[in-house]
Structure 1
C-alpha cells in the first residue's frame, strides 16, 4: 500500500499545469455556456406566461390555460435531478467538459424543437399531440439544465484560487441574469416588430426566440470545446491510473469502482437533501420573479406586454449585481453567513412584495410600471444573494470523485422544492386567497431554507481536493489479489 501511495503522489505531482487556462477564459466559457442554456430555459418561461395559454391550451379558458401552461413549465424541474444524476455520473467519470458539451447540444435541440412545434389547430383530430410534444421538449430542457449548472459551477470553482473561489464561482451564475434580460429583449423586439397584440405574434412571432437559440448554441459549443479539464479532475484521474498501474505490476486487480451516484447518496445524503432544501428559497424567488410575475403584471395589474418585458430587462441588472456581490461577500464572511442573510432578506421581502407592486394602482386596476419593475427587481435581487454563493458552496460540500453528481443532484432537488411547486401554486393561491397567500408561501420557503442551512457545514477556506471532514466519507480503495 505504501508503494502504491508513493506512485499515486508522484503521478499527481506531475499532472500537467502548463495547459491551465486563465481565470478570464474559464469565467468567459462557463458564463457564456450558462447564459445560452438559461436563455433557452427562460424563453420558455416567458412564452408560458404570455403565449402558451392561448396557443396550446385555448379550450381551457384564461385561468385554467395559465395553470396548464405553468404545469408544463414545472415539468423541467422534475427532470433536473434526473439530468444531474445522469450527467453527474459521466462528468465524474469522463470529465466536466464532455458533460457540458452534451448538455448544450440537448438544450439546443429541445429549444429549437419547441419553436417548430405545430399547434393543436394544425393537427386537428390529433391536437392533443401538440401539448404532449411541448411537455416532452420541456422535459429535455430540464434534463439538460440539470447537468449544466453543476458542470459550470465545478469548472469555475475547481480552477479558482481558494481565497477568491466565491467570487469566481459566482461568475457562471451570471448566466441566468443575462439570459433573463436577453430573452425579455428578444420577445420585446419581436413584439415591437410584429405588434404587441397582433395575430402574427401569436401565429409565428413567438417562435422566433426559440429558433434563434440555434445560433447561440453554435457559438457556445465553439467556446466550450476550447476549454480543458480542471486540474482537480486531472489530478484525480492521474491518481486512479497510477493505482491501476501499480496494481497490475503487482499482479493485483483494483477493487471495483463505485458509481458516483451511489457514493454520493451513501456518504453525503445529508448534504444532497440539505443542499436541496437550503436553496429552495433561491428557486422560489427566482421563478416567481422571472415567470409568475410576468403573468401577474399583464393579467392582475393590466400592464402592457412590452412594459412587463422592459421591467424584466431592468430587473435582470438587479439580479446580476446581487449575484456577484454575494460571491464576493462569501469570500470574506463565509458561505453560510451570506446565505443566512439572503434567507432573512427573503422573509422580509416576501411580506411586502405585493403591497409594493400595487403602489400607484389606478382606479381601473392598472398598476404602476415603476413599482412593478422595482418589485420584480427586488425579488430577483433576493434570489441573486443566494445564487452567487451557490456556485462555490455546493461544489465545496462534496468530494472530487462524485462532486458533479452530488452538487448537481442537490441543486436539482432545490429546483423541485422551490422552482416547480411555488410558481405552479401561485396562480391558484391568488385566485382563492389573494396575494397575501403567495407572500406567506414565500416566507415559509425562506424560513425552511434558513433553518436547514444551520445543519450544513461552513465550506469557505477548504481545498477542493480534500476529503470532507467526516469519518464516513473517507474512501480508501485497496487492491485485491487475483485468484
Structure 2
C-alpha cells in the first residue's frame, strides 16, 4: 500500500492547481552550450595530454627501469587505469545524477576530473620521492577516470533535457564537439611547446627545459577550463525532465539496480551501438600515430612526428565539421536510419585500409605520400564525426528519466573498454602480424556488431523524454525502488 499512497499524494499535489503550476526556471541557451561543451573538451584534452606525456615524458621522469621498454610499458599501464575507473565513475555519478539531479553531479564530476589533472602537473618525480611518484600518478589517473565516467552522460542530459522540440539531435551534439576541441587544444599546446623549446624526444636529456618544467604547463592549463566550467555550471537550473520526475515522486533509491532490472536490453544495445564509434576513433588517433611514425625497419611508415601531427591537426577539422551535420541529419532522418547508413560506410572504409596504408603504395620516411595519408585521415575523421555526433541524443533516449544518467553512462563507458581500451593494442598486433589491411577488417567486425545492435533498436527521434519507460502500470514498479514522497 505504500506505493499507492506515494502515487496518490504526488497526483493530488499536482491536481490542486493544474492551471497554474508555476513557471519552471529556464536555462539560457548559451549557458547550456558552454556547460555541456566544457566537460567533454576537458575529457579529450586530458586524454591527449596524458597520452602524449605517457609516451614521451613519464617513462623518463616517473618510472625507473634498468633498460628496455619497462618504463614505457609501466607508463602506458597508468594510462589504462582510467579505463578501469570510468565504469566505476559511471555507477557512482550516475547514482547521484539520478538521485540528486544533473546540476550537482555535473559540478562534482568536473571538479573531480579537473583537480586530478592539475595535480598531475604538480607531482614530484621519481628522483624526488622514489616509488611514491608513480603511485601518485596512477592515483591521479584513477581519479581522472572516475570523473570522466560521469561527465559525458551528465553533459549529454543537460543538453538533451533542455532541447527544443524536434531539435534534440542537434541541441544534444554540443558535448560531442568537445572531442575535436580537446584534440586541437592538447596537440596544439604540445606542438607549440616542443617547437618553441626545441625539444627532440630522441635526443633530449632529462635536464632539458621541457622535461624539467615545460611538460607541466598543459596539465596546469586545464585549471582555466575547469574554472570556466564551474562558473557556468553554478548558474544552471535543474533540467526540466529531472525536475518533473522528482515532482512526480518517481526518483528511485538505487538507479543502478533499477536500470539493470528494467532496461538491461537497452544497456546492451547502447554499449554495442557505441562500439564502432569508439573503435574508429581510437584507430584514427592512437593506433594510426604509432603506425605512421613507427620505424620502417619494423614495417611501419617512418613519417616524422611533426609532419604527421600537422596531418592530424588538419584532418581533425573534418571531425568537428561533421558533428553538427550528424545532429541535423539525425533529426531529419531519424537516429536509427542515419546511423545504419553511416555504419555501413564505416564497414566500407575498413575494407579500404589495405589500399591506403600499404607501405608499398603509401611510401615510407621522407618519401611517404602525405597527400594520400591526409585523404585517408579525412575520410576516417568525417565518418567519426557523423557516427559520434548523434550518440549524445540516442543513448540517453534509450532510458527512462529516473535511470537515464546511470544507463547512458554505463553504456558509454563499458563500450569504451570494449572499443577503446583494447583497440590500439589489438590493432598494433594485427598490423605487425598481418599488415594494415587486417586492422581494417577488425574495424569491419566491430561495425558489424554495431549494425546488429542498431537493427534491433527502435527509433527514438520522436519519443517524449518524459514518457520513456512510463507506459508500464504503476504496480509493475517494485515498491522498494521508489523514494518516499
Report the TM-score when normalising by structure 2: 0.87
Give me the CA root mean square deviation: 2.9
For residues 83-130 of structure 1, the C-alpha deviation after alignment (integer angstroms, 9 at most, x for no partner) is 11110110111110111111111111211222233444444xx34x44
In structure 2, do the counterparts of structure 1 residues 269 and 208 end up closer, same or farther at CA, with 3 Å as the change threshold? same
In the TM superposition, 1:445-464 aligns within 5 A as 445-464=446-465
In the TM superposition, 1:185-200 aligns within 5 A as 185-197=188-200, 198=204, 199-200=208-209
2: CA distance between counterparts of 1:218 and 1:334? 37
1:250 corresponds to which residue?
Answer: none
For residues 399-458 of structure 1, the C-alpha deviation after alignment (integer angstroms, 9 at most, x for no partner) is 111110111111111111101111132223323333233222211111111112212221
CA contact (8 A) 2:302 2:365 kept: no
Q: 2:170 pairs with 164, 167, 176, which one? A: 167
In structure 2, do the counterparts of structure 1 residues 266 and 9 end up closer, same or farther at CA, with 3 Å as the change threshold? farther
2: CA distance between counterparts of 1:66 and 1:85? 31
1:247 corresponds to which residue?
Answer: none
TM-superposed deviation, 1:158:
0.6
SS in 2 for 1:258: coil
2: CA distance between counterparts of 1:288 and 1:465? 37
TM-superposed deviation, 1:80:
1.4
2:319 corresponds to which residue?
Answer: 319
TM-superposed deviation, 1:231:
0.9
The yes-or-no answer on 1:150 pairing with 2:164 is no
CA contact (8 A) 1:38 1:176 kept: yes
The yes-or-no answer on 1:277 pairing with 2:272 is yes
2:334 corresponds to which residue?
Answer: 334
1:440 corresponds to which residue?
Answer: 441
1:400 corresponds to which residue?
Answer: 401
2:286 corresponds to which residue?
Answer: 291
In the TM superposition, 1:97-246 aligns within 5 A as 97-123=103-129, 126-127=130-131, 129-197=132-200, 198=204, 199-240=208-249
TM-superposed deviation, 1:361:
4.1
CA contact (8 A) 2:99 2:253 kept: no
1: CA distance between counterparts of 2:173 and 2:446? 23
TM-superposed deviation, 1:467:
3.1
In structure 2, do the counterparts of structure 1 residues 478 and 441 end up closer, same or farther at CA, with 3 Å as the change threshold? closer
CA contact (8 A) 2:252 2:258 kept: no
Report the TM-score when normalising by structure 1: 0.87
Q: What is the total number of aligned residue pairs between the two structures? A: 464
1:305 corresponds to which residue?
Answer: 305
CA contact (8 A) 1:15 1:238 kept: no
1:83 corresponds to which residue?
Answer: 89
1: CA distance between counterparts of 2:174 and 2:85? 25
For residues 220-272 of structure 1, the C-alpha deviation after alignment (integer angstroms, 9 at most, x for no partner) is 111121111111111122222xx9xxxxxxxxxxxx95311111110001111
Gaps of 5+ in 2: 295-299
1: CA distance between counterparts of 2:15 and 2:277? 40
TM-superposed deviation, 1:370:
3.2
TM-superposed deviation, 1:391:
0.8
2: CA distance between counterparts of 1:31 and 1:203? 32
Gaps of 5+ in 1: 244-255
SS in 2 for 1:316: helix
TM-superposed deviation, 1:164:
0.4
1:426 corresponds to which residue?
Answer: 427
For residues 178-229 of structure 1, the C-alpha deviation after alignment (integer angstroms, 9 at most, x for no partner) is 1111111111111111114043334432222112111211111111211111
CA contact (8 A) 2:353 2:436 kept: no
TM-superposed deviation, 1:354:
5.6
For residues 144-177 of structure 1, the C-alpha deviation after alignment (integer angstroms, 9 at most, x for no partner) is 1110000000011111123000011012211111
2: CA distance between counterparts of 1:462 and 1:211? 43
CA contact (8 A) 2:103 2:237 kept: yes
